[in-house]
Structure 1
Amino acid sequence: MNLRSRSLIVLTLAATSLAACGSPGPAEEPPLSEEAVAAVTENAGAPAKALAREVDDLFTMEGLGETRALIVMKDGKIAAERYGEDYDADTRFVSWSMAKTVTAMMIGQLVGDGLLRLDAPAPVPRWQRSGDPRADITLRHLLQMRSGLEHTEAGDPPYESGEVRMLFLDGRDDMADYATAQPPEAEPGAKFEYSSNTTVILADIAARTLTESSDPEARRRAVSDYLHARLFDQLGMDSMTLEFDRSGTLIGGSLMHATARDWAKLGELMRLKGSHRGEQLLPRSWVAEMVKPSPKSPHYGLQTWLNRPNGEPEHPLFPDRAPHSAFSMIGHMGQYVFVSPEQGLTVVRLGHSNAEERKAMLQQLADVVELYPAEGR
């Protein structure tokens, strides 16, 4: 190699080195706020800074709506907890449709007590008249949203929907009477149709199972006492507040109120297959039924959403980013109690996000979930 060639190589290497020194490199992430760092506990079970940043993004990123509360629990311990402005650990948050899963828990306890049967015709008196096709609707059909009744969850305009009419218009005083009066539009079990009216029918069945009285106060007391004695008090859920209609029927599809920590306790109960401190509050077999896919909807069990592919472009959860064994209680405007037994996780997100915001928010929630590897439980 002559001197000229050697000089060219040296100059090239020097230029490359200088260019590398002058390159901006990867952008540094902004420092975490004190609030973001404080949200993560010593029991994070994941890289603390990464968890703090993902949680912070749920509260601060544009386009996600408003996150009002977030709790991440790993193996039964709080890994992260944070609240939005004007909300705290004592705030009772409305369930919206997360209440449906709680209603299913109550039905499961009544089945476990031998008072109801899952595959028997639903004990609705008006359906037992001779020739009524609704007599073939089973409790399982109702729990899996396969009743075949003419129930419309959403309408345009909204006041035309069966849910709005039941909750706020002609059905509001006796919601179960309104819901059970609807005619069939399909064979029982033939199709999936999500419906808050269906869950009110389940709540009414529970009330009539627990008391023979038609007195509204007696019905309210029977259901409230049963749920508190058998579920809420056992879990230490002191905040849970239930709403009933004028006839004494639990509005079991949409109106329960509890703190974020108490919602997390219900998620943990499900994660542990109905067991709490060595006591089986829900039959283990019932929890298995709750998270078993419906034959007409692979992403729905018994009043519970499943993280399983449904063959559709949109999904209420994120089956591509978390184990298919995961499941969730889901409520209107972005209420979630997401449970992933394989990851030892219960994640509660409560807030207010419209339909478009929920899509983005769910992906951010998945970012939190993905910090925890599946452990094959």
Structure 2
Amino acid sequence: MRKIKLLLGIALVGIIITAYFNYPKLNLMSGFASKNMASSVYIADRDPVDIILNDNDMPLVNLSNCTVSEADESAKATVYGLMPRTAVYKEGVGAVLTNKEFSKHNFELIPNRFITKDSLPFPYGNNGVTDTILENVDYDKLEVAFSNAFKDTEQKTRTLLVVHKNQIIGERYIRGITKDTPILGWSMTKSILSTLYGILEYQGKIDMNYKPFTDEILTKNLKSNITLNNLLRMQSGLSWDENYFKISDVTRMLFLDSDMTLAQKNKEVIATPTEIWNYSSGTSNLLSGILRGQFKNHQAYLDFPYQSLFDKIGMNSALLETDLVGNYVLSSYGWATTRDWAKFGILYLNKGNWNGERIFSESWVDYVTRPTQNSDGTYGAHFWLNSEGKYPDISREVYSANGFLGQRIFIIPSKELVVVRTGLKEQTDNQFNTLLKEIIQSIR
């Protein structure tokens, strides 16, 4: 009996220790579940049951119990009744995770949209698509690529769209998702952020050598030499832990912070600019804060992405979510339909020219696709590269906007191709290599 009591005591101590170290994680689990639910229901008009069974069906997050309140357009989640988190939606700025500071913030301002009616087909308008058959496309081979992308349910591909010569040559969606369903791009949003800076540069309003910390009073002024170029290339030398499987810098920022632009800004310097490359969502949100400072007021900041990019190229479904103080979360929270994500890729394929109107300079494409020092040829300026050949059967020229769970916009200039894949599971480099190879083989 004494031995049994001892074993039970050890087990109890083990449970207490495990609970102590894992209890804070509940904040992230219920935070992710409620935020993802609120955004998916109220931005994408999705079925809550479908979100529970699919979008939130991932390790730890699936332990959450999530409910939706239509009355105040919110979602609430707990983990076995513990750590309740609530996300509230507001038209125009998406859903935010509430916290103790929530009541202090003002959400009266929302972006103005600049949508005009048009009669043009995709991509330069939203009046359907052309049904012309391109003679240099082997549609049977293309069908093989599509079938392979969707046949294995473990791949969890949701949408796949292929554009050749500015025309859709292939498009497929799983049940419950349509051409009109906005898809969360996750870190593809970082490439949107980069583009906004490219637009400002083309307009002559900012320079990539700008040093945003120069005017601040800093200890030993260690941050004063950091430039926009360093930040866009993730080589600022600021400390950051990008780990989504524990309580880290990135999870604290996304699920606990009111002002997400400060998380990276307040980090210590661990290297001189360009000395190291360190992927950081905090850097992207720091850049969002710096972007906000380029405008005379908050309304102008809110309007800029829509006026100068989204609505100008017909990405009318696009929506950027904000944090609790109104900063765009440009690390992670950009939404658009698959067709509209493709338009973004087409803009780059056409080197910043949109149906005769220049959005950013041709040289900006060269800039974002130039390999960043110490990234082993994988990263440019908030775009991912194939310079080191991680896709061995694909040209080294290929570059992409990448997001969590396998969201991708591939730009393949020599083939005049844009490929958009969205899903609920990250794909291996080999899987993406095969997909792109099969698509390219359909182009004669």
Q: Which of the five TM-score ranges fits, normalised by the shorter chain?
A: 0.7 to 0.9
The answer as to whether partners of 2:142 and 2:439 remain within 8 angstroms in 1 is no
Task: Extract unaligned runs of 5+ from structure 2.
Answer: 1-130
The one-letter code of the counterpart of 1:153 is E
The CA distance in 1 between the partners of 2:209 and 2:141, in whole Å, is 47
Instruction: Report the equivalent of 1:163.
Output: 250
Counterparts of residues 116-265 of structure 1 (less than 5 Å): 116-123=206-213, 126=216, 128-129=217-218, 131-154=220-243, 157-159=245-247, 161-169=248-256, 172-211=257-296, 213=297, 218=298, 221-265=299-343
Q: 1:52 aligns with which of 135, 143, 155?
A: 143
**TM-score with structure 1 length normalisation?**
0.79
The CA distance in 1 between the partners of 2:443 and 2:150, in whole Å, is 23
Cα distance change of structure 1 residues 293 and 372 upon mapping to structure 2, 3 Å threshold:
farther
Instruction: Report the equivalent of 2:76.
Output: none
1:146 deviates by 0.1
The CA distance in 2 between the partners of 1:186 and 1:301, in whole Å, is 19
Cα distance change of structure 1 residues 123 and 228 upon mapping to structure 2, 3 Å threshold:
farther
The CA distance in 1 between the partners of 2:213 and 2:300, in whole Å, is 18
Identity of aligned residues (%): 30
1:232 deviates by 0.9
After superposition, the C-alpha distances for 1:179-199 in whole angstroms (9 at most, x for unaligned) are: 200111111111111111001
1:373 deviates by 5.5
The one-letter code of the counterpart of 2:319 is T
The CA distance in 2 between the partners of 1:123 and 1:340, in whole Å, is 37
Instruction: Report the equivalent of 1:348.
Output: 420
Instruction: Report the equivalent of 1:15.
Output: none
Q: 2:388 aligns with which of 306, 309, 313?
A: 309
Larger-gyration structure (1/2): 1
Counterparts of residues 8-27 of structure 1 (less than 5 Å): none
The answer as to whether partners of 1:343 and 1:372 remain within 8 angstroms in 2 is no
Q: Does the residue aligned with 1:266 lie in a helix, a strand or coil?
A: helix
Q: Does the residue aligned with 1:96 lie in a helix, a strand or coil?
A: coil
Identify which range, 328-337 or 365-374, moves more after superposition: 365-374
Counterparts of residues 109-120 of structure 1 (less than 5 Å): 109-120=199-210
Aligned residues: 313
Cα distance change of structure 1 residues 78 and 373 upon mapping to structure 2, 3 Å threshold:
closer
Cα distance change of structure 1 residues 241 and 260 upon mapping to structure 2, 3 Å threshold:
same
The answer as to whether partners of 1:66 and 1:351 remain within 8 angstroms in 2 is yes
Cα distance change of structure 1 residues 100 and 289 upon mapping to structure 2, 3 Å threshold:
same
The CA distance in 2 between the partners of 1:45 and 1:336, in whole Å, is 25
The answer as to whether partners of 2:258 and 2:323 remain within 8 angstroms in 1 is yes
Matched, 1:76 2:205: no
Root mean square deviation, CA, Å: 2.0
Matched, 1:370 2:440: yes
Cα distance change of structure 1 residues 227 and 124 upon mapping to structure 2, 3 Å threshold:
farther
Counterparts of residues 314-329 of structure 1 (less than 5 Å): 315=390, 318=391, 320-329=392-401
Cα distance change of structure 1 residues 271 and 55 upon mapping to structure 2, 3 Å threshold:
same
Q: Relative CO higher for 1 or 2, CA cutoff 8 Å, sep ≥ 6?
A: 1
1:81 deviates by 0.4
1:132 deviates by 1.9
Higher normalized helix content (fraction of residues): 1
Counterparts of residues 283-294 of structure 1 (less than 5 Å): 283-294=361-372
1:113 deviates by 2.4
Q: Does the residue aligned with 1:209 lie in a helix, a strand or coil?
A: coil
The CA distance in 1 between the partners of 2:395 and 2:358, in whole Å, is 25
Q: 1:335 aligns with which of 390, 404, 407?
A: 407
